[in-house]
Amino acid sequence: QQLMTADQISNLLAKDRQYVWHPFTQMKDYEQRDHVLIQRAEGIFLYDAWGRKYYDTVSSWWCNVHGHGHPRIKEAIHKQLHAFDHIMFSGLTHAPGITLAERLVQLAPEGLHKVFYSDNGSTAVEVALKMSFQYWQQVGNTTKTKFIYLEGSYHGDTLGAVSVGGVEQYHALFKPLLFHGYKMPAPDLRAAGGHTLADEAIVAEQALAPVRELLQLEAEQIAGIIVEPMLMGAGGMIMTPAHYLTELRKLCSAHQIHLIADEVATGFGRTGTMFACEHAGISPDILCLSKGLTAGVMPLAATLCSDTIYAAFYDDYMTQKTFFHGHSFTGNPVACAVALASLEVFEEEAVLERIQLTIRALETALHGSGLAALPYVANIRQLGLVAAFDLYEDAQRKMPFPPEKRIGAAIYEAGFEEGLILRPLGDTIYYWLPHCATPEDVSDIVSRTLRVLNKVL
């Protein structure tokens, strides 16, 4: 591909400043730096308009799975566009949407038999919340109207999703617009010290105690609890014990509460298993999927639910039990075709087996590279293809850097010079690797990160 001229690049970047408002971005900062204008993407690499290449260590906001530009995905898009493009999914149906629903039901934890499509992670969550709420209204438990969520949880940016969001920095401002719920502590494994199963169980039980108490008193008010199983991403790459989930499953069943698993980020192999719920061997009542569903290539989401939930909506039209929810792009056929192709790649390339090598290489690189010995690094942690560590002014005493130092932002900038797209969450540095990453990529990424840290700190 021909590179752009310097004039073309500066022209585009000037228009970027003039017209575009980027997500999760302080535009005053953004306007004061040189921008990375991406021109090409292949495998784990992004290439900018100057021809420089960068490791996409965060899988393009945790979406990309098989690497950029996978031929099977491109072929699926062409084939579907040749047949038909977008059509509405209300009153009409199509093979990619039907076949994908069947495949998702086969792959998902057992008991999830119906698939409701939408188009991004936040809408998958909105669907889950509304579905749960309406279910209880329709089965006569009309006081069950509230949701439990965890401190540090992130479920998206639409108002329902923000209502069950626990990251103060993103969510606090909007409180007057939100519905009220119960925020419970997260079972953060960083508190588990030695990380034996017994330590993990202690952390889990500490976080479960207030949930048990609340359910004893107020289960009649509560529709569901929403969690990011095993790994709470945007809240700071908080890894949580399987024990928490198994106990939560029991509590939800005992108290008639929906367990809603938000696997928008963790689904499709990212944690080493197809779905993170598998680490705990549990099935939720409702499962939210997006991001990796289409290998991170097209916007699509799916909310899966049990037959019991579905049955409460199934009646004569005049009973007013219809689920009145839908989006213009619900069940987009091109996105569904891409998702099917991605699942085929999972099988053809034995992706879940192959990534185990990468996962082990990541573990070796994290613990054998000298990272752990750095005086400002603490809490190195990993689940599957995701790894994180926290930066402190004094790691031993867990003394944080003053916020005005904006260490994360400096690391982000320096990452580009070392060919890395890093997107620290505050002072937490993390990798969210695509499944196409090789063991060699992993060790190169960690070495480059060490150089970035040495430069900034």
DSSP result, 113-181: -EEEEESSHHHHHHHHHHHHHHHHHHTT-TT--EEEEETT----SSHHHHHT---HHHHGGGGGGSPP-
User: Both ends of the chain: CA-CA distance in Å?
Assistant: 37
> Is residue 327 annotated as involved in ligand binding?
yes
Alpha helices in 306-438 (DSSP H): 307-311, 333-348, 351-368, 407-417
Shorter beta-carbon distance to ligand PLP: residue 234 or 351: 234
| The pair of three-digit structure tokens given for residue 435, joined into one six-digit string | 């499944």
Minimum distance, C-beta of residue 127 to ligand PLP, in the bound complex (Å) = 12
Among 262, 285, 418, 441, binds ligand PLP (CB under 6 A): 262
Q: What is the CA radius of gyration of the chain?
A: 22
Counted residue by residue, the chain has a size of: 457
162 close to 171: Cβ distance less than 8 angstroms: yes
Shorter beta-carbon distance to ligand PLP: residue 300 or 407: 300
> Is residue 291 annotated as involved in ligand binding?
yes
- The reply to whether 122 sits near ligand PLP by the rule CB under 6 A is yes
113, burial (CB in 10 Å: exposed 0-12, middle 13-18, buried 19+)? middle
- The reply to whether 223 sits near ligand PLP by the rule CB under 6 A is no
> Is residue 33 annotated as involved in ligand binding?
no
Shorter beta-carbon distance to ligand PLP: residue 152 or 156: 156
Minimum distance, C-beta of residue 117 to ligand PLP, in the bound complex (Å) = 14
Minimum distance, C-beta of residue 162 to ligand PLP, in the bound complex (Å) = 10
Residue in 256, 447, 277, 296 with CA at minimum distance from that of residue 361: 447
> Is residue 296 annotated as involved in ligand binding?
no
> Is residue 56 annotated as involved in ligand binding?
no
420 Cβ partners below 8 Å, 6+ apart?
54, 55, 57, 445, 448, 449, 452
- The reply to whether 224 sits near ligand PLP by the rule CB under 6 A is no
Among 43, 109, 152, 156, binds ligand PLP (CB under 6 A): 156
Shorter beta-carbon distance to ligand PLP: residue 136 or 154: 154
**Rounded Cα gap, residues 360 and 356, in angstroms:** 6
Name residues contacting ligand PLP, limited to 61-120 (CB under 6 A).
Answer: 120
> Is residue 10 annotated as involved in ligand binding?
no
- The reply to whether 233 sits near ligand PLP by the rule CB under 6 A is yes
Among 56, 126, 188, 228, binds ligand PLP (CB under 6 A): 228
Minimum distance, C-beta of residue 385 to ligand PLP, in the bound complex (Å) = 15
452 close to 55: Cβ distance less than 8 angstroms: no
Among 155, 243, 249, 279, binds ligand PLP (CB under 6 A): 155
Minimum distance, C-beta of residue 299 to ligand PLP, in the bound complex (Å) = 8
> Which residues contact ligand PLP (rule: CB under 6 A)?
120-122, 125, 154-156, 228, 233-234, 262, 264-265, 290
